[in-house]
Amino acid sequence: MVGGRRGTLLAALLAAWVAAAAAEAEAGSEQAAVPEERSLVRPMTASNWTLVLEGEWMLKFYAPWCPSCQQTDSEWETFAKNGEILQISVGKVDVIQEPGLSGRFFVTTLPAFFHAKDGIFRRYRGPGIYEDLQNYILEKKWQSVEPLTGWKSPASLTMSGMAGLFSISGKIWHLHNYFTVTLGVPAWCSYVFFIIATLIFGLFMGLVLVVISECFSMPLPRHLSERSEQSLQSEEAHTAEQLQDVEEEKDDSNEEENKDSLVDDEEEKEDLGEEDEAEEDEEDSAVTGRDEERSDALDQRPPGEAPEDEAPGGETGDNTPEQPSLAGAEVAAEDTLRQRKSQHPDKGPS
């Protein structure tokens, strides 16, 4: 009895498992029968981005980790479905996988939208909503937006160089992630590796430039080099002679100036001596003239006659006490001076 019950239970479990497996297989076949909806947004890469130079395009730059980019994905898909009606192509660029294109368009914020019409690019700064995008195309609002021309154009040589720099930076970033994540190398070791690689690359490029310059620079023939050396020596000698002549002229001019200044000083001294002598002569002549006049006046006065300022009896006209007149005092002082002068020559050395 027990064995029969166990056999019946196992048979029931086996039948249930078979039924479940059959149901899952049917569900899988039904899902496989429904075709997956194909996206009309065309991924753009560095190899096919030149397609946007012809016709009218709208491009979206995004990153998988960007929340704002994810919010506009459904709107961008709807806009792409109506692209045939609007006669416009719709594309998208993953900046993580295509850093060169992000550098070519100089993308600094995400998401970023661009409109292209026959190779002329404009930046769309509106919201990424289907209605706004549709109105932007139907009403041709892009005509009022300033295009990216000149060096700012993605097709210019400048932005091509920028794309190359961004591509190199993206490869370096991927290599850094490979070292740190895949191989488990510490981050500082990766930084040291890139620093050393940068120095070695710079030295190598400098060596290449030197070799190129040496290859393209033609050396001068021997006779031309000798002539150039001789000409340089002659020019140096000529310049040295000119410097010597200038110094000699300066010395001569300084000597002449010194001589002129000495002569002027001597002439000034002579003039001053002559002026002093003339003043002394004038003073001596004036003194002698006054002496002669006074002596003549004294000789002509009769003896016993008193001076004009004195009254008889030794009194003045004003009845003042007896005083010598000013003229008499001067005469007496001059007489004493003459006596002293006459005495000095007579004295000899003691």
Q: Is residue 215 among the annotated active site residues? A: no
Coil, strand, or helix at residue 42?
strand
Are 190 and 179 in contact by the 8 Å Cβ rule? The answer is yes
- How far is residue 138's CA from residue 132's CA, in Å, rounded to a whole number? 10
Return the closest-CA partner of residue 128 out of 54, 192, 71, 53.
71
What average pLDDT does the chain have? 77
Residue from 59, 63, 69, 90 carrying the catalytic annotation: 69
- How far is residue 52's CA from residue 35's CA, in Å, rounded to a whole number? 30
Q: Is the pTM of this model over 0.85?
A: no
Are 135 and 141 in contact by the 8 Å Cβ rule? The answer is yes
User: Exposure string (b/e) for 222-250, b if CB count within 10 Å is 16 or more?
Assistant: eeeeeeeeeeeeeeeeeeeeeeeeeeeee
pLDDT, residue 272, reads 73
Are 96 and 138 in contact by the 8 Å Cβ rule? The answer is no
Q: Is residue 189 among the annotated active site residues? A: no
User: Exposure string (b/e) for 259-279, b if CB count within 10 Å is 16 or more?
Assistant: eeeeeeeeeeeeeeeeeeeee
Are 46 and 101 in contact by the 8 Å Cβ rule? The answer is yes
Q: Give me the residue label for tokens 């000119």.
A: 242
Domain extent listing, the chain? 42-150, 160-215
In the predicted model, residues of the chain with pLDDT beneath 50 are: 1-3, 5, 30-35, 306-326, 345-350
Tokens in use for 269? 């001294």
Tokens in use for 260? 């002129």
Coil, strand, or helix at residue 316?
strand
The torsion angle over the Cα atoms of residues 168, 171, 173 and 174, rounded to 10 degrees, is 180
Note the CATH architecture for domain 42-150: 3-Layer(aba) Sandwich (3.40)
Residue from 46, 53, 66, 172 carrying the catalytic annotation: 66
User: pLDDT for 75-107, tens place per residue?
Assistant: 999 999 998 898 999 999 999 999 999 999 999
pLDDT, residue 107, reads 92
CA distances from 83 to 127, 134, 137, 148, 302 (A): 18, 9, 10, 24, 157
pLDDT, residue 247, reads 84
- How far is residue 64's CA from residue 173's CA, in Å, rounded to a whole number? 17
User: pLDDT for 34-78, tens place per residue?
Assistant: 445 678 899 999 889 999 999 999 999 999 999 999 999 999 999
Q: What is the DSSP letter of 182?
A: I
